[in-house]
Amino acid sequence: MNYEDFKFLSFDCYGTLIDWESGIWNAFQPVILFNSRNDLTREKVLRNFALLESDQQKQTPSMLYSEILLNVHKKFTKENELKTTEELDKNFGNSVPFWPAFADSADALRLLKSKFKLVILSNVNVSGFTASNRWLGVEFDEIYTAEHVGSYKPNPSNFEYMFDNLKKAHGAEKKDILHVAQSLFHDHVPAKEFNMSTVWIDRQNLSKGGNWGATKVVENQPNPDVIFEDLISFANKAISYSIT
């Protein structure tokens, strides 16, 4: 890939920059402990979450992400025969600010910021991303969330919103944008429907047989243009390519 062809890097945030699987798993611990359920393993919980979250987002596309999470928590406890409380549900809904960044995110973003304009295209609300942005170490040139759009990826409207607004703000064309993301379901499938160039940050090691974690399974997988196991590897490659 010729990285010099691109002026903008658009990023998914949760799963790519923020370790949402650890965040989600940690946020489920209070209700699991409250019910003394040793059978609910990380893999089971994240797989169940993936289905509930994608269904909730599809059913209520204009709902704020904190409310999406609250409803997912309620449905999860019902499906798994767990007792819950209003406080437990609400705390899960408000857990995004406590989800950690990946260890390489800030370093990688600072490197990339030296050569590209950085854009967020995220499936959360504005306040949720604002809280997460504290851990990322850079100022993004544009931030587009599900709250701005009124829908959640993989809905194509989210990408259309980004294209329209980058065109208005920067005169950017679709060919100028390289999309960088972990989730095949949320990002690579819709991005490839728009014939975007994409970088797969394969943190789940899916390309080598890893599990889907908190991401809904994609039966017909898209073909990202390049694959990296982490963000810093991509950043080093993109910057060194630009220099040479």
Digit-coded pLDDT (tens) for 92-139: 999 999 999 999 999 999 999 999 999 999 999 999 999 999 999 999
Residues 6 or more apart whose CB falls under 8 angstroms from that of 137 comprise 105, 106, 107, 109, 110
d(CA 92, CA 70): 6
DSSP state of 198: E
Q: Which position has the token pair 């995220």? A: 122
d(CA 95, CA 26): 9
Q: How far is CA 143 from the centre of its chain?
A: 13
Digit-coded pLDDT (tens) for 78-100: 999 999 999 999 999 999 999 99
202 is catalytic: no
Lowest model confidence (mean pLDDT) among 98-112, 209-223, 227-241: 209-223
Q: How far is CA 9 from CA 29, 111, 114, in A?
A: 35, 12, 12
21-98: same fold as 3-19+99-243?
no
Domain boundaries, the chain: 3-19+99-243, 21-98
Digit-coded pLDDT (tens) for 26-69: 999 999 999 999 999 999 999 999 999 999 999 999 999 999 99
- Which CATH number does 21-98 carry? 1.10.150.750
- Which CATH number does 3-19+99-243 carry? 3.40.50.1000
Q: How far is CA 189 from CA 74, 104, 182, 216, in A?
A: 29, 25, 11, 12
* For the chain, percent of residues with pLDDT exceeding 70: 99
d(CA 68, CA 65): 5
Diameter of the chain by CA atoms? 59
Question: With a threshold of 0.75, does the pTM exceed it?
Answer: yes
Catalytic option among 5, 12, 107, 141 = 12
Average pLDDT, the chain: 96
d(CA 116, CA 211): 32
Q: Which position has the token pair 């850079």? A: 138
